[in-house]
């Protein structure tokens, strides 16, 4: 997998949470928001918020904070949310169906144009208005629809073989929700989403709280 040098990964992961607070302030008619307000809402240090926002190139004004509209534009531009990117879901099971119905993707520029599965009972139907096609025709549909991202939600045992076919068909960006680490050429980007790790962290937090 290609090892890109991504700056400030923890900061990037915090930016969507900041955006939620900033959008709330915008809805309330505010023109400026301070790093301190964002920090207090999320139980963070204000200096951390300011450092995180600095990676977007935005500069706040003394005693006023950040102009909200400019701040939203800066974050969306940095995260690539102001560019519409077409994606496919490979695996139309429970997780794939849930992702297809997640409306926040649309507001962040991710447009899911198709889903694929090997189950005859799902092929030809739709999940949240997303058409489901046979995985046997995934190469043809990729050429037809021109997606740039593949979300992998299929059984882990099938992930590598399917990923190989998808790369051959022209997609070089994967959001991998399976339990396996797929092997891809150096130019291909992969973000592995490990839901089990998230739950593991939550479990430790609960155990720690209960022991106190």
Domains in the chain, please, with CATH? 9-79 (1.10.10.10), 85-196 (3.40.50.720)
Can you say which residues are annotated as belonging to the binding site?
Answer: 91-96
pTM above 0.75, yes or no: yes
Q: Output the tens digit of pLDDT for each of the chain's 212 residues.
A: 445 567 678 899 999 999 999 999 999 999 999 999 999 999 999 999 999 999 999 988 888 999 999 999 999 999 999 999 999 999 999 999 999 999 999 989 999 999 999 999 999 999 999 999 999 999 999 999 999 999 999 999 999 999 999 999 999 999 999 999 999 999 999 999 988 888 888 899 899 998 88
Q: Which residues are annotated as a binding site for NAD(+)?
A: 91-96
> At residue 68, what are phi and psi to the nearest 5 degrees?
-60, -45
Angle between helices 46-54 and 9-27 (to 10 degrees): 100
Burial of 42 per CB tally in 10 Å (0-12, 13-18, 19+): middle
């Amino acid at each position: 997998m290609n090892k890109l040098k991504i700056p400030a990964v923890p900061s990037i992961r915090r930016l969507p949470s900041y955006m939620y607070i900033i959008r709330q302030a915008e809805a309330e008619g505010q023109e400026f928001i301070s790093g301190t307000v964002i920090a207090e809402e999320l139980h963070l240090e204000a200096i951390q918020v300011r450092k995180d926002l600095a990676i977007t190139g935005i500069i706040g004004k003394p005693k006023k904070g950040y102009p909200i509209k400019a701040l939203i534009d800066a974050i969306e531009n940095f995260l690539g949310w102001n560019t519409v990117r077409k994606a496919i879901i490979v695996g139309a099971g429970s997780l794939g169906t849930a992702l297809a119905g997640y409306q926040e993707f649309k507001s962040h520029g991710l447009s899911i144009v198709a889903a694929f599965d090997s189950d005859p009972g799902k092929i030809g139907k739709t999940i949240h208005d997303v058409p489901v096609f046979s995985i046997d025709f995934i190469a043809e549909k990729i050429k037809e629809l021109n997606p740039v991202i593949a979300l992998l939600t299929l059984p882990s045992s099938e992930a590598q073989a399917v990923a190989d076919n998808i790369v051959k068909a022209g997609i070089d960006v994967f959001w991998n929700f399976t339990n396996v680490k797929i092997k891809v050429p150096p130019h291909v980007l992969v973000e592995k989403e490990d839901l089990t790790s998230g739950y593991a962290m939550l479990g430790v937090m609960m155990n720690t709280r209960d022991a106190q």
